[in-house]
């Protein structure tokens, strides 16, 4: 793999030629073009790492990195690829790092331009999906779709009933005091992650999120007095880590990819669009014979002796 792939592409200015930004977003399935224009004006869109608010901006989908709410926007016409990786500790989930630290992208084989779906911080490990399917990334990561993400978390001490209740009700985290919730369950003291011994004074808990703030689990537990020793993501929606070991990965099969898109609501949405298009073509065809003076009506009049 070329060294520049691991290091990531340097930031670049938007292409002077190409397609309008809102058109690229609409073709990627983000929203209708007018709605995409609203997103651009609201400062929710980045091109090559910089916020763009000008509607006249043009981009080249093959060269420029377009992001909506932090998620890469990828044209649907391209071949969709999906790579499931067990991200090890010590690897960044970002596409590149200015300080030269290792990125999880360097563990993905091939030369295709893929992006991580969400992030795991440097100290965390587990399931990380890479894809060029921007619509899927958006559906899986945006909080309004409420897709579950499951984690096994090793903490110092033992979680109390009161702490579990507090996390379910919600706590404020970060400088902006964001209000977040989590479903947390104590695991049996005999439970082991892949038969590994539990460090003295520690215990495992299962955490399920339906949102995704930066370092959310660590901040939530820290907020109520617990320190995280280890954090492993094992599931995202219906996609599971399986038996992969740290650093290992695999390409999703066509059936797995379709199932994942169905889970995210994309296959149904696309099927509905195709059916609507097909129905519109049929109705247009029929209208030709319904119009006054149309071929069909003229034929019927002749048969009736009109």
**Domains defined along the chain, listed by start:** 1-73 (3.10.290.10), 145-251 (3.30.70.1560)
Task: Tell me if 109 sits within 8 A of 248, measured CB to CB.
Answer: no
The pLDDT tens digits of the residues spanning 213-238 come to 889 999 999 999 999 999 999 999 88
Task: Choose from 21-25, 35-39, 139-143, 296-300 the range with maximum mean pLDDT.
Answer: 35-39
Token pair for 159: 């979680």
CA pair distance 132, 81, nearest whole angstrom: 6
**pLDDT at residue number 5:** 41
Sign of CA dihedral 115, 116, 121, 123: negative
| Angle formed at CA 69 by CA 262 and CA 57, multiple of 5 degrees | 110
Which residues lie closer than 8 Å to 238 by C-beta, 6 or more apart? 259, 260, 263
pLDDT band for 11, please (50, 70, 90 cuts): low
Output DSSP code: residue 103.
B
* C-alpha of 64 from chain center: 19
The pLDDT tens digits of the residues spanning 75-116 come to 655 688 999 999 999 999 988 888 889 999 999 998 788 899
The pLDDT tens digits of the residues spanning 169-222 come to 999 988 888 898 999 999 999 999 999 999 999 999 999 998 878 899 999 999
The pLDDT tens digits of the residues spanning 261-293 come to 998 888 764 444 444 445 544 454 445 445 444
Q: In 10 A of CB 177, how many CB atoms? A: 8
pLDDT band for 2, please (50, 70, 90 cuts): very low
CA pair distance 248, 237, nearest whole angstrom: 20
Among candidates 98, 92, 149, 138, which has minimal Cα distance to 119? 92
Residue keyed to tokens 């995202």: 236
**pLDDT at residue number 299:** 47
In our burial notation (b when 16+ CB lie closer than 10 A, e otherwise), range 121-143 reads eeebbbbbbbbbbbbbbbbbbbe
Q: What is the mean pLDDT of residues 27-48?
A: 89
Question: Catalytic site residues?
Answer: 121
Token pair for 120: 């795991």
CA pair distance 255, 259, nearest whole angstrom: 6
Residue keyed to tokens 């892949």: 194
Residue keyed to tokens 């000008």: 54
Phi, psi (5° rounding) for residue 38? Answer: -65, -40
Among candidates 211, 285, 244, which has minimal Cα distance to 127? 244
Output DSSP code: residue 143.
G
pLDDT band for 296, please (50, 70, 90 cuts): very low
pLDDT surpasses 50 at 3: no
CA pair distance 1, 107, nearest whole angstrom: 10
Kindly report each contact of residues 66-71 with a partner whose C-beta sits within 8 Å and lies 24 or more positions away, as own/partner: 66/21, 66/24, 66/25, 68/25, 68/30, 68/39, 68/44, 68/134, 68/138, 69/44, 69/138, 69/142, 70/141, 71/115, 71/117, 71/134, 71/137, 71/138, 71/141, 71/142
């Amino acid at each position: 793999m070329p060294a520049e792939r691991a290091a990531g592409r340097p930031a670049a200015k938007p292409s002077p030629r190409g397609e309008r930004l809102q058109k690229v977003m609409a073709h990627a399935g983000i929203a209708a073009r007018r709605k995409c224009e609203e997103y651009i004006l609201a400062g929710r869109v980045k091109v090559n790492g910089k916020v763009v608010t000008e509607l006249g901006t043009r981009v080249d989908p093959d060269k420029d990195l377009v992001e909506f709410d932090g998620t890469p926007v990828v044209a649907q016409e391209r071949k969709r690829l999906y790579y499931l990786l067990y991200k090890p500790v010590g690897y960044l989930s970002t596409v590149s790092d200015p300080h030269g630290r290792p990125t999880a992208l360097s563990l993905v084989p091939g030369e295709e331009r893929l992006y991580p779906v969400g992030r795991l911080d440097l100290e965390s490990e587990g399931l990380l999906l890479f894809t060029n399917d921007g619509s899927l990334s958006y559906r899986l990561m945006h909080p309004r779709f409420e897709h579950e993400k499951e984690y096994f978390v090793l903490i110092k001490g033992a979680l109390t009933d009161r702490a579990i209740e507090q996390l379910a009700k919600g706590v404020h985290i970060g400088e902006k005091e964001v209000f977040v919730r989590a479903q947390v369950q104590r695991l049996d003291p005999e439970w082991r992650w892949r038969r590994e011994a539990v460090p003295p004074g520690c215990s495992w808990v299962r955490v399920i999120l339906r949102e995704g703030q930066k370092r959310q689990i660590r901040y939530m537990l820290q907020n109520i007095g617990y320190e995280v020793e280890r954090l492993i993501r094992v599931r995202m929606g219906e996609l599971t880590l399986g038996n992969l070991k740290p650093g290992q990965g695999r390409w999703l099969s066509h059936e797995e990819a379709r199932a994942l898109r169905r889970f995210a609501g994309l296959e149904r949405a696309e099927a509905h669009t195709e059916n609507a298009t097909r129905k519109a073509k049929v109705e247009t065809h029929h209208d030709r014979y319904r119009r006054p003076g149309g071929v069909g009506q003229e034929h019927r009049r002749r048969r009736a002796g009109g």
